[in-house]
Amino acid sequence: MTGPHHVQEFASPWWLPDGHTQTLWRRFVSHTPLPRRRQRVELSDGDFIDLDWVDSPSTDAGSARDLPTVFLLHGLCGSSASPYVLSLQRLLQTRGYTSVAMNFRGCSGEINRLARAYHSGCTEDLEEIYQCLRQHTGARPMVFAGFSLGGNVLLKWLSEIGRRDDVLLGVSVSAPFSLSYCSGAMNSGLTKAYGHYFRRRLVRDVESKRVHFRASGRLDELQKLEALGDLQRLQTLWEFDDQVTAPLHGFDGAEHYYQTCSSGPLLSAIHTPVQLIQSANDPIIPAGCLPRPGELPMHVRLHLTETGGHVGFTCAGQPLWLEQRILAAIEACQPASGA
């Protein structure tokens, strides 16, 4: 059974003084192994998505049934093995929750079967996985948490599904509410390093997929990748999205993709309770693209810290502040019988 959970106000430790150090520290923190159960879901278009489950250790079957399943979505160039995913799944297990982390297409350690991959608005994949899980678990309540790109996908999906009784809560961390704004910000200053990192990783993934498709004889899908042209000449994330992301996923170009998939303009269409967790010194998400609290629906709440970086939030005196904050939101959203 769960109970009230205290989360202190966020304050960066002296040794993580800015958004960059907060962001990078999270990436390099080591974690002990976490036993997980992998499930492969075959998609309707012939591709697949891998899920990684951490089951509740509770011996009280009734208590475990009362708790919602927590569904996690990772960020750009991440996976279910990203440190923030593993850390949250570990904490949730200690509190009796079952959690499942979805790997976007091609992110689970095995190249996916189609030329298409994933992007900031691929809600159709989330919807298909949700429907698949519903078939197997019935209407067991679910809570969703998304990080960075995964947060944007989650918010867009919530804006599309209307009210669903089994979807109790959405928690979004460091979401890029304006994809165009964020992409542009990664073209200058220190933030340019993040743009180069993402671009290089994404180009490498496409090149690896080309080699794999050529070797495995997937010539129809290989042709789609070859049509993208020379990717080594791309200099920015915007150029990658314009030349690769957009044509592979049915958009007319980078700006059409950004406009269609940005979650900021969609927040007013969300009916599910939502907790937004953002930092004002996030080096990837400029403060200028954050929603204003007064313009949000009553059930969409923004928790904005002065510091914390991008999916960082290592707090002085409470290193797992982010995980604890998400847990507190989950516990607060449940009816009294499950709290």
Place of tokens 């809570």: 143
pLDDT at 1: 37
| Res. 291: pLDDT tops 80 | yes
Q: What is the radius of gyration, based on Cα positions, of the chain?
A: 19
Task: Please pick, among 148, 172, 178, 183, the residue that the annotation labels catalytic.
Answer: 148
| Res. 321: pLDDT tops 80 | yes
| Res. 225: pLDDT tops 90 | yes
User: Closest Cα to residue 82, out of 141, 126, 40, 23?
Assistant: 23
* 37-69: pLDDT as tens digits: 999 999 999 999 999 999 988 645 445 568 999
Active site residue 108: no
Query: What is the DSSP-derived secondary structure letter of residue 242?
Result: I
| Res. 32: pLDDT tops 80 | no
Q: Mean of the pLDDT values across residues 120-130?
A: 98
pLDDT at 2: 42
Share above pLDDT 90 across residues of the chain, in percent, rounded to a whole number:
78
Active site residue 125: no
pLDDT at 338: 42
Residue pair 171/145 in contact (Cβ under 8 Å)? The answer is: yes
| Res. 339: pLDDT tops 50 | no
Q: What is the mean pLDDT of the chain?
A: 92
Residue pair 41/51 in contact (Cβ under 8 Å)? The answer is: yes
Active site residue 310: yes
Task: Please pick, among 20, 119, 249, 310, the residue that the annotation labels catalytic.
Answer: 310
pLDDT band at residue 4 under the 50/70/90 scheme: very low
The better pLDDT of the pair 9, 305 is held by: 305
User: Which domains occur in the chain, in start order?
Assistant: 1-177+263-333 (3.40.50.1820), 179-261 (no CATH)
User: Closest Cα to residue 47, out of 103, 99, 130?
Assistant: 103
| Res. 30: pLDDT tops 80 | no
| Res. 311: pLDDT tops 80 | yes
